[in-house]
Amino acid sequence: MSKDYKKYVQFLASGYNILYVGRENEAIYDKTADYFLSASKIDMTQEMLDKIDLTLSKRHISIAVIDASVNDSLAEAFVKNIEAFDEDILTILLYNPKEYRKVFDIVSCVDALIPHPLDESLFHKKLFTVMSRSYAINSIGRRDIVLKQKNVTEDAIDVFFDTYEGSALFLADDLMEMVQLLNAGNITQNFLNEIAKALDEVATIFAKSEQTKTVTPIYEQLASFVRDLDLEAVAPQNLEAFSYLSEILSDVSIYLMDMFVDRIFKDVYVFEHSLQNNIKFMEDRLTGVVEDEDESELDFF
């Protein structure tokens, strides 16, 4: 399933100050400028190289994009100077693949390489890659610091949210993609296996906290039902029940965003009860079980 890394970049970029060195690809770079805390540009000239330390310091740069398409030797100098100033600055090198030998000496010094001609989706993917690595390290660091404090337990809800915020965001996005595919009538065994895998991952996250682990078995059971469902055994008139699965996945996605991103902590027991009822409703209709009229409506969150 293809990813729209632009959405992920927007989520991660707000805490970074980024610098672009060059001019050849500034149009694509400019499209990302609003995502960052600040976005700067400088020309790749000797004059700017001579004062790069001042630029990095004054603008508190955390990501540098160096475009080697025009002057690879000067680009190499920028990379080495930036590394010497602060090796924690994330660096992305834009290069001409036909001139790879000319930048070979600095390949090990940068965090990501992007060949020309620059592709916007690849640029977003590389930005996501370098930022998510840093995000993961920082999240682990925050978690370790909090756990060392005697008055905080491992299951403190803020630690839980901080640790799994990124994972929940990506899962929520995956679930919404699956909702769109279900609504488009994409019902195959392979696709159901993908849904089951995503539900298992949601279950794993909720199992990490005392406050949410009671909902874990519900996700595990739903994943098993979806994975083991025999499509050929579903009567044609019952196929419409997949729209209920679509609604369930949509609400789970929203719930993940509310909890882990917006930090709106809904009552997990109300959520658990509603989820169980909705799953039972869907399963009964997929398997042809007739319910009383009083139980004929879904109770979404």
Residue 20 β-bridge partners = 41, 65
Cα 93-98-103 angle, rounded to 5 deg: 40
Cβ neighbourhood burial of 228 (10 Å; 0-12, 13-18, 19+) = exposed
Percent of the chain residues past pLDDT 90, beyond the cut: 33
| Mean pLDDT computed over 109-130 | 88
- In this structure, the answer to whether residues 105 and 160 fall within a common structural domain is no
pTM: 0.54
Q: What is the pLDDT of residue 3?
A: 64
- In this structure, the answer to whether residues 168 and 287 fall within a common structural domain is yes
Task: Assess if residue 273 is contained within a domain.
Answer: yes
Task: Assess if residue 115 is contained within a domain.
Answer: yes
> CA torsion, points 292, 235, 247, 204, in degrees to nearest 10?
100
Task: Assess if residue 125 is contained within a domain.
Answer: yes
Query: What's the CATH code of the domain at 283?
Result: 1.20.120
Task: Assess if residue 147 is contained within a domain.
Answer: no
Task: Assess if residue 143 is contained within a domain.
Answer: no
pLDDT higher than 90, residue 275: no
The CA–CA distances, whole Å, from 168 to 38, 107, 172, 203 equal 26, 33, 6, 11
Rg over CA atoms, the chain: 24
pLDDT tens column, 196-247 = 999 999 999 988 888 788 889 999 999 999 999 888 888 888 888 888 898 8
- In this structure, the answer to whether residues 272 and 158 fall within a common structural domain is yes
| Mean pLDDT computed over 267-292 | 74
Task: Assess if residue 145 is contained within a domain.
Answer: no
Of 224, 209, 206, 227, nearest in space to 272 by CA:
206
Task: Strand 38-42: give its sheet, edge to edge.
Answer: 38-42, 17-21, 63-67, 90-95, 112-115
The CA–CA distances, whole Å, from 226 to 16, 33, 56, 239 equal 40, 42, 52, 13
